[in-house]
Amino acid sequence: MENRPKVPRALVFAFALAFLFETWIWNSVVAVMSRIAALVHWATLRVKLSRAVERAPVWVALLLFGVPFLVSEVGSFFCVALVAIGQVKAGAIGYLLSKLCGLSVLAVVFDLTRSKLMTLKWFAYLYDWAMVFHRFAEGLVEPYRAASKAYVAAVRARVSAYLGRRFHHPEKEPG
């Protein structure tokens, strides 16, 4: 058996958080894009675009998905490099913009190309692996998420009780 270095749990946790952050952005972008889509009759447009993608060769779907993916990832890498050389503010802002814009485009493109992309065995394998990691990351982070929610609920309850006592005027009550 080979001696592999043990990955620190904090590093795994940080990676899981970053992964879930991207997922949260993805889901948020999908929600916003759904609202925008309602304004531009997306359902009709989506059907037409999906039909066009289905008629096209699989490499077209791969290009439609791959180009924005690569642009987003290269942009993210560039922004991390900016942070590494001391341009923290520019790198952080660029990273967030890169993720928001990149994931906005990717969410729409993936919606249109998913069925075609899943015909590629290697893509389906990578997608399944990403979903397995997503479930692992959620399981790793869930106890902390639950503790955070409980803490926020407790703080809200204390604030509400404090404000209720502070603004409660017994002399104004009927009776």
Phi, psi of 94 (to 5 degrees): -60, -40
Please tell me what DSSP assigns to residue 175: -
pTM listed for this prediction: 0.57
pLDDT tens-digit readout, 48-75: 888 898 899 999 999 999 888 888 889 8
pLDDT tens-digit readout, 76-88: 889 889 988 988 8
Residues (pLDDT < 50) of the chain are: none
Tokens at 154, concatenated:
């407790």
In the chain, how many domains are there? 1
CA-closest candidate to residue 110, choices 25, 6, 26 = 26
Domain of residue 44 covers: 9-120
Residue 128 resides in a domain: no
What are the angstrom distances between the C-alpha of 105 and each of 31, 44, 161? Answer: 13, 18, 45
